[in-house]
């Protein structure tokens, strides 16, 4: 990498790393999709964190010009296909989540990690509410409040996940 810098200057290194930036975003979203379908023990299934929603919110906050509602819709369709849920359920919920994150991204950047976690709890709770609403309409789930447990677990994991993704973003110069 140092020799590339000597040969091309700063612009060459930046262009090389910017091409890797798209792959970092895609790879983190694919890992989040994989974590959404990894089997868990029965006792832990209700508390599974919403990794897809958290990673999507992070990238919307960090790079609102590159990650938006369209990418959220595509990722949601992939999650619907992978989980076998009604087509459009997660796509709609993640698109709403991305829209709200785009509205709030300037405020969220200034918040402390604890304040961000509180907002993440509300956003992912709304995401879970939309998914639960569709599942209730299709008759695949009984109405109870345990569907909000993943929002709480996700909010507790948010500071660690956002720190990890920030380090990853800076290491690969994702802009």
8-17: long-range contacts at Cβ-Cβ below 8 A with a sequence spacing of 24 or more?
14/173, 17/172, 17/173
DSSP single-letter state for residue 84: T
How distant, in Å, are the alpha carbons of 39, 45, 46, 48, 53 from that of 42?
9, 5, 8, 11, 22
pLDDT digits (tens, 9 = 90+) for 85-112: 999 999 999 999 999 999 999 999 999 9
2-171 to CATH, choices 1.10.1760, 3.90.550, 1.10.3470, 1.20.1740: 1.10.1760
Q: Tell me the torsion sign for CA atoms 87, 89, 91, 92.
A: positive
Helix (H) or strand (E) holding 54: helix 51-62
Q: Where are the domains of the chain?
A: 2-171
Residue-wise pLDDT for 12-64, tens only, equals: 445 445 566 889 999 999 999 999 999 999 989 889 999 999 999 999 999 99
Residue 107 CB neighbour total at 10 angstroms? 12
pTM: 0.87
- Of 145, 133, 129, 151, residue with least CA distance to 53: 151
């Amino acid at each position: 990498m140092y020799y590339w810098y000597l040969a091309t200057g700063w612009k060459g290194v930046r262009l090389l790393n910017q091409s890797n930036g798209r792959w970092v975003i895609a790879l983190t979203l694919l890992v989040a999709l994989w974590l959404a379908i990894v089997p868990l023990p029965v006792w832990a299934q209700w508390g599974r964190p919403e990794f897809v929603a958290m990673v999507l919110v992070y990238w919307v906050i960090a790079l609102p010009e590159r990650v938006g509602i369209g990418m959220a819709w595509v990722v949601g369709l992939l999650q619907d296909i992978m989980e076998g849920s009604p087509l459009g359920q997660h796509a709609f919920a993640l698109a709403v989540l991305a829209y709200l994150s785009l509205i709030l991204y300037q405020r969220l950047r200034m918040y402390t990690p604890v304040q961000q976690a509180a907002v993440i709890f509300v956003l992912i709770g709304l995401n879970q509410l939309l998914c639960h609403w569709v599942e209730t309409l299709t008759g695949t789930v009984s109405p109870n409040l345990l569907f909000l447990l993943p929002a709480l677990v996700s909010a507790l994991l948010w500071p660690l996940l956002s720190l990890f993704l920030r380090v990853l973003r800076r290491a690969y110069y994702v802009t």
